[in-house]
Amino acid sequence: MPKFFVERGNIGEDFAFIRGEDANHIAKVLRARIGEQVVICDGEGSDYSCEITEISAGEVKLSINEKIPCNAEPNVNITLFMALPKSDKMDYVIQKAVELGVYKIVPFSSSRCVVKLNGGAEEKKTNRWQKIAHAAAKQSGRGIVPEVCAPITFRELTKRAGDFDLPLLCYECEEDNSLKAVLSEKEFKNLCIVVGPEGGFDRAEVESAISSGFKSVSLGKRILRCETAPGCAICAVLYHTDNM
């Protein structure tokens, strides 16, 4: 059944409206008819089972049959801090991270990042990434659209450790702490995963993060590409917390 995100202001007690591109998609691509069923989501964790009652140019009116909690959201909030990679790898990372269930994505720059964003380029990229997150959330049946934040610096990132029950930094040279072992040390509801760029982290950055409260963890014996590591870590957390 098709699912669409709808702004909370367009959802009433017994009715709702889908407007703009999604309305045109319903009418012209799906060729939906009055009486057909669709699901809408308010982006706040609730789904609505609806029936199409009217179709007009740029607008579809729905009758709400039932409001139910979206069961697609994990019971643990995962924030992904992702170092800016080259090419369009960030598009891929955002798409897959949203599909898997992350709560928020925060790009950041580090000493070995090749890509540097500023001014208009940063805003343009962030807007594009948010659209990718929206499409991925819609495709995967999420109950929220994860926020993709504007890029921050590594120094700003290190100040965020206290925001999480478990702040993790994935480091390819870590030999003592496996991700599995660290996840088993304590209960958590809110954690972050930090993944570096193609060249990895500078040792000084790792030491700075650890001194700020981050826990350095290994993802295994193999060296993973920067676009592979986030999915690996996210899946491990979801499995550990019975969300898979």
Helix, strand, coil shares, percent, the chain, to 5: 35, 30, 40
Amino acid present at 218: S
Please compute the mean of the pLDDT values over residues 85-100 and round it to a whole number: 96
- Residue of 29 and 166 predicted with greater confidence: 166
- Mean pLDDT value of segment 108-135: 88
Delimiting residues of CATH 3.40.1280.10 domain(s) in the chain? 77-240
Lowest-pLDDT range of 23-32, 178-187, 206-215: 23-32
The secondary structure element, H or E, covering residue 236 is helix 229-240
pLDDT of 118 over the 90 cut: no
* Distance between CA atoms of residues 122 and 206, nearest Å: 25
Contact 180, 187 (CB under 8 A): no
Cα–Cα distance, 206 to 228 (Å, whole number):
20
Average pLDDT value for the chain: 94
pLDDT at site 57: 85
Domain with CATH 2.40.240.20 in the chain: 3-69
Range 164-184 average pLDDT: 96
Tell me how crowded residue 6 is: count the other CB atoms within 10 A of its CB. Answer: 20
**R_g (Cα) of the chain, nearest Å:** 20
**Local confidence band at 116 (pLDDT 50, 70, 90 cut-offs):** confident
The C-alpha atoms of residue 175 and residue 216 are separated, in whole angstroms, by 9
The pLDDT of residue 115: 77
Domain 77-240 belongs to what topology? Alpha/beta knot (3.40.1280)
Helix-helix angle 119-140:89-100, to 10 degrees: 40
pLDDT value for 146: 97
The percent of residues above 90 in pLDDT, for the chain, comes to 87
Check pLDDT > 90 for residue 23: yes
Contacts of 146 (CB under 8 A, 6+ apart): 97, 98, 102, 103, 104, 105, 133, 137
Could you please state the CATH topology (level 3) that the domain comprising 3-69 is classified under: Ribosomal Protein L25; Chain P (2.40.240)
Q: Does 140 score more than 90 pLDDT?
A: yes
Residue 113 has pLDDT above 90, yes or no: no
Q: Is the pLDDT of residue 3 over 80?
A: yes
Residues in the chain: 244
Q: Is residue 188 scored above 90 in pLDDT?
A: yes
